[in-house]
Each structure stands twice: as structure tokens, then as C-alpha cells.
Chains A and B, each alone.
Chain A
Amino acid sequence: MTRKSRRLWLVGGCLIGLGTATALTLSAFSSNIVFFMAPSQVHAHPPAADRTIRLGGMVVAGSVRQQKNGDTPTNQFDVTDGQDAVTVHYEGILPDLFREGQSVVAIGSVLADGSFRASEVLAKHDETYMPKEVAEALRRSGKWDPRYGKPPDAASWNSMTKTATSQDKAAPQHGS
């Protein structure tokens, strides 16, 4: 075995060892690396009352209540992961992307009655990017309602882009 191949094996062995060590460490700390807990996790393992946690999930359609309390709005909405839902109370201005059906992450603590008091609400957008006309067209045709989950595959609406724009140009007043 030449010195070069010995060095190659040595480097390869070190990398495998380091990779394994990192993988083991990351899997051991996996529950601490997650950025937020889902409502069903919060119900299964309720955190201590004074502990700050991050709660993540989808805003349930029709659950948003807003009140003006002086200058600061008070918001109440339900967050769900499909299995369970938690009611969130938040005093303050919600991010621009907040809407029904949007994924959000609320930072705060669980109250005695099982509801959640948030000190901060972050909006989490998904990986789908589409022009406004396409979203409008999908909504008009009834193929997708943003309040009830993810949009359909891009392949199904990519061809729509051109037709949607040309339709809008042909009849700009239509529907608006």
C-alpha cells in the first residue's frame, strides 16, 4: 500500500467516524432541534405552565376572532395539525402573511385551561410560488381554496398561467 492510498483510507475512515458521530448526536438531540411542537404533541406531553414553547400548525378556517382593545388588536384563533387543535390568544399585530389556512408558529406558554397565550406569532409560508392570476383562477374554478390546505401540483396549473393572464387581459373587469 502506497503512502497516498494509506492517507486516502485514513481520511475516509476519519470522515466516516465523524459523520457517524454527528448523525448520532443529531438524532439524540432531535427533539430539541425541532423548531416547534404540533398541537397533538402539546396535548400528549403538556409542557409546564411557565415554560415557553413554540406551537406550530395551520390556522383553522373560520376560527379567527379579532377585537380592537384600544390601539392593540386582540386575536384568537385555533391552530391544528390535522389531529388536534389548540386555541391561541395573541395581543398585537399579526404578520402580513397571517390568514386562515396559513401555517403559523406561535411563541408562548400553555394556560391552565389548555389554551395558549402567545407573545409572538410568526407566519410560515410553504414552498409553492405562483402568480396572483393563477391563484385567482384556481380559486374561481373551485380547484383550490387557500383556507383548506395546500395548493395542487404546479404541473396542473403551470399551463394555466398563460391562459389565465390572457383571459384577464381580454376581460379585465371580469370578476373584480
Chain B
Amino acid sequence: MNATPSLAARTGTFFHRYANPGRFLRLGARLQPWLTWPAIGLSVAGIVWGLFLSPADWQQGDSVRIMYVHVPAAWLASSGYMGLAVCSLLSLVWRHPLADLAAVEIGPVGASVTAICLATGSLWGKPMWGTWWVWDARLTSVLVLFFLYLGHIALIRAFDEPQRGYRAAAILGLAGAVDLPIIKFSVQWWNTLHQPDSITLTAAPTMSTDMLWPLLVCTIGFTFGFAAILVARLRAAVMESRVRTALAMRRGRTETQDDAQDSGPDLSGAVA
């Protein structure tokens, strides 16, 4: 129609460069050690720094060290869902095959970090606030995020025909993205028991640098870990689908051979 391709077309071309499973497998294999080793190194360093070397808080004492696990888990819970929403968009608009597989694999990892975030938050709340759980806006919206993850995990595997599961789960994944700004701004819009963010883009952090650095190292380490697990799962998923396709083709071939020769009992089941 016109010389300049539309935005949809251009974005599609950019992402479809990585849609080729073979290209992804090669890229993933090269990327994997660069994710796994920094993840192990930074996480161990951050945890040791945070749990043993950083100072205790003046009023919370050593309980503040739960932060070094809780905050990275909360960050990954939200950004993991952001990734899921992007995959859902790619799946719905551009029918991106790798985005479908990525959405399948993000679900359980994201649900796990959200569970860690909720569990450590509960363990932190009991000694500090005096309660395991309250229904304030922040805690409730994160619980909703956890249920969104669980719903996505169930829905994307609920159909015999995978393509229908991908579409249905992508709609859920995109609709659930509405929860992300609610989580982020819940502590500003409504008064909550949960305190406001200590680290924001607009203001200086209200945290001692002695605690900020180990928290930063932990967050980067955990993020590398999340990415490493995700890439490993995605590579396994791509290889699994290749094996399935190969098996199906082989079964199809043996069946046609059997039909052609019309030879006694069907043994193709035993082969598979």
C-alpha cells in the first residue's frame, strides 16, 4: 500500500527475527552460562552480604534481613508478570510461536517468586506489624497477582489443542496486567499497613547505603537467576516440541508403511 511499513508490521519483523526455534536454541545455548554463573555468584554474594555483613535496622533489628529476599521476590513477581503480558500481546497480535512457549514457561516461575514474596512478607509481618496477614491494598493486590499466575498456568494447559490454550491464556495474561499499576501505586493511593516504597525513580532512596548495596546485589542476582531458569525451561520446551514433532512424523510414517504392507498387528505403539 505504502512504502513505510506500519508499526504493527515493523514490530512484528523485529520480534519474528527471534521466532525461529533453531536460532533461539543457538542463542539460548550461548546465553545460558552468562546468565547462570552471574546468578549464582551475585545471589550468594548478596545473601551473605545482606544476612551477615550488613547492619541491623535501628528499630526492626535483624528482622530487616528478610528484606534481602522479600524485595527481589516482589520485584520479580511484578516484572515476571510484565514479561507474561508482553508475551501475551505478541501471541495475540503477531501469533508469535516462541512467545506462546515463553508464556507457558514464565507461569510456574513467576508463581513461585510470588509465593516466596507472600511467604517472606508474612514471616516479616508477624514480628514487626504483629500480624501474619491483613487485607490491605498492597497485600491483597499481590495475592490477586498470585491467583492470576495460577489461573494462567491452568488455562494455558487446559485445552487438547495447544493453540486454543495459548489464545485464551494470552487474553487472561493481558487483562491481568491491570493489576500491576494497582500493586505499584497501592501504597500511595490508599493508606495501607504496608509502608511506601523506599526506592523510587523520582526520589533518593530512604535507606542506608549499607543496606541498599546488598539489596541491589541480591536483586540483580535473583533477576539473573529468574532469566537463567526461564531460558533453560524455554530451551527444554523447544527441544521437547521438536522431539514430539519428530516422534509424530515417525509414527505417521510407520503407520503408512503398515497400511501399505498390510502386515499383521500394528507395532507402531511399541516403537513410540
Given A33-B190, A35-B134, A105-B193 in contact, is the A5-B208 Cβ separation under 8 Å?
Answer: no
Whether A111 sits at the interface, judged by CB under 8 Å, is: no
Whether B195 sits at the interface, judged by CB under 8 Å, is: yes
Contact of B195 among A8, A38, A124, A146 (CB under 8 A): A124
Contact B55 A35 (CB under 8 A): no
Contact B204 A8 (CB under 8 A): no
Complex Cα spacing A134 to B209, Å = 12
Complex Cα spacing A109 to B100, Å = 52
Interface string of B7-47 (1 = CB under 8 A from A): 11100100000000000000000000000000000000000
Contact of A4 among B60, B94, B208 (CB under 8 A): B94
Whether A19 sits at the interface, judged by CB under 8 Å, is: yes
Number of residue pairs spanning A and B whose beta carbons lie under 8 angstroms apart: 144
Among A14, A56, A96, the most chain B Cβ lie within 10 Å of the Cβ of: A96
Complex Cα spacing A7 to B174, Å = 14
What is the interface size of chain A, counting residues whose CB is below 8 A from a CB of the partner? Answer: 48
Whether B128 sits at the interface, judged by CB under 8 Å, is: yes
Which parts of A51-93 form the interface with B (CB within 8 Å)? 56
Complex Cα spacing A18 to B180, Å = 13
Complex Cα spacing A34 to B192, Å = 6
Complex Cα spacing A155 to B205, Å = 8
Contact B204 A154 (CB under 8 A): yes
A residues neighboring B (CB under 8 Å): 2, 4-5, 7-8, 11, 14-15, 18-19, 22, 26, 30, 33-36, 38, 56, 95-97, 99, 105, 120-136, 146, 153-155, 157-158, 161
